[in-house]
C-alpha cells in the first residue's frame, strides 16, 4: 500500500491564483480530512469527509473547497489564493485507532 | 472547543535520559492520540488511548480521564527520538481532532 499520498510537495502561487492540492489513499478508508499547520499553532481542520459524496467544514474552511467523488480521492481547492493561506497542508485518513497522514504540501502564496 | 495544552514546548536532553511530555485538555473526549512529526515533516501516529496505559518499545503513553491529562514517556532516549511530539484529542464527533502545539524534543548524543 502507498498509504496517503499528496501532490505537489511544494507550490508557489501568486495572490488570486487558484489551485488544487491532491490527496489519495489506497486503504479504503471512509474518513478523510485536510489540516493546515502554521508556525506556533497546532494543526487545524479545514474540511473533512466521512465517505464518498459527503463533506463538511472544519475549523478554518474559508477560502477552500473540497469534494469526495470516490473513496480514494479527496482534493482541496484554493479558489483565490491569499498570503494568509501560506502554510503546510496535510491530508489524513483514519480507520479504527489509527490516523494516517500524507507527507504534506508546502504552499507559499506571494 | 477543546483546549489542548502541551508541556514543555521545548525539551533538550542527553541520550539515555527518561523523557516525559505532558498533555492536558479542557473538555471530555472519546480518545487521545500521540503523534510524532519527524524533522522532514512527516507525521506518524504513535498511540491512541481511551483509558489506562499503552506501551510500544521504549514509548509509554498514559491517560487519566478524570484529570483530563495524558503523558508520553520515552525510556532510554536516543538521538533518533528527536522530533516534535503532538497530542491530539478526539471529541467523538465527525469533526476531526483538536491538536496541541507540539513539544519539540532534541536528544543530544
Question: Helix, strand, coil % (nearest 5) of chain B?
Answer: 5, 60, 40
**How far is the C-alpha of B87 from the C-alpha of A88, rounded, in Å?**
18
Q: Give the tens place of pLDDT for each residue, A3-50.
A: 999 999 999 999 999 999 999 999 999 999 999 999 888 899 999 999
Q: Phi, psi (5° rounding) for residue A88?
A: -110, 130
pLDDT at B93: 75
pLDDT at B64: 96
Residues of A in contact with B101 (CB under 8 A): 40-42
**How far is the C-alpha of A105 from the C-alpha of B67, rounded, in Å?**
37
Residues of B in contact with A101 (CB under 8 A): 35, 42-45
Confidence at B92, pLDDT banded by 50, 70, 90? confident
pLDDT at A4: 96
pLDDT over 70 percentage in chain B: 99
Task: Mutate one of A50, A97, A107 to test the B interface: name it (highest B CB count within 10 A).
Answer: A97
Residues of B in contact with A97 (CB under 8 A): 31, 48
**How far is the C-alpha of A101 from the C-alpha of A90, rounded, in Å?**
7
**How far is the C-alpha of A92 from the C-alpha of B43, rounded, in Å?**
10
Mean pLDDT of B43-48: 94
Q: Give the tens place of pLDDT for each residue, A23-36.
A: 999 999 999 999 99
- Is the CB of residue A44 less than 8 Å from the CB of residue A28? no
- Is the CB of residue B73 less than 8 Å from the CB of residue B60? yes
Q: Is B70 on the interface with A (CB under 8 A)?
A: no
**How far is the C-alpha of B17 from the C-alpha of B72, rounded, in Å?**
14
Amino acid at each position: 500500500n502507498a498509504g496517503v499520498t499528496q501532490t505537489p510537495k511544494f507550490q508557489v502561487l501568486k495572490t488570486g491564483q487558484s489551485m488544487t492540492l491532491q490527496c489519495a489513499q489506497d486503504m479504503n478508508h471512509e474518513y478523510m480530512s485536510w489540516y493546515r499547520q502554521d508556525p506556533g499553532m497546532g494543526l487545524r481542520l479545514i474540511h473533512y469527509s466521512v465517505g464518498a459524496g459527503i463533506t463538511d467544514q472544519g475549523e478554518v474552511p474559508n477560502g477552500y473547497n473540497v469534494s469526495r467523488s470516490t473513496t480514494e480521492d479527496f482534493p482541496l481547492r484554493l479558489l483565490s489564493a491569499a498570503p494568509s493561506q501560506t502554510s503546510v497542508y496535510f491530508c489524513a485518513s483514519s480507520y479504527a485507532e489509527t490516523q494516517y497522514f500524507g507527507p504534506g504540501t508546502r504552499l507559499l502564496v506571494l | 472547543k477543546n483546549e489542548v495544552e502541551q508541556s514543555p514546548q521545548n525539551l533538550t536532553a542527553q541520550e539515555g535520559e527518561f523523557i516525559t511530555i505532558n498533555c492536558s485538555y479542557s473538555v471530555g473526549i472519546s480518545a487521545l492520540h500521540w503523534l510524532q512529526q519527524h524533522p522532514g515533516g512527516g507525521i506518524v501516529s504513535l498511540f491512541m488511548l481511551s483509558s489506562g496505559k499503552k506501551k510500544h518499545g521504549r514509548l509509554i503513553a498514559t491517560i487519566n480521564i478524570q484529570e483530563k491529562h495524558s503523558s508520553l514517556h520515552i525510556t532510554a532516549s536516543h538521538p533518533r527520538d528527536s522530533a516534535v511530539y503532538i497530542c491530539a484529542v478526539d471529541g467523538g464527533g465527525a469533526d476531526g481532532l483538536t491538536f496541541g502545539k507540539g513539544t519539540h524534543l532534541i536528544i543530544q548524543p
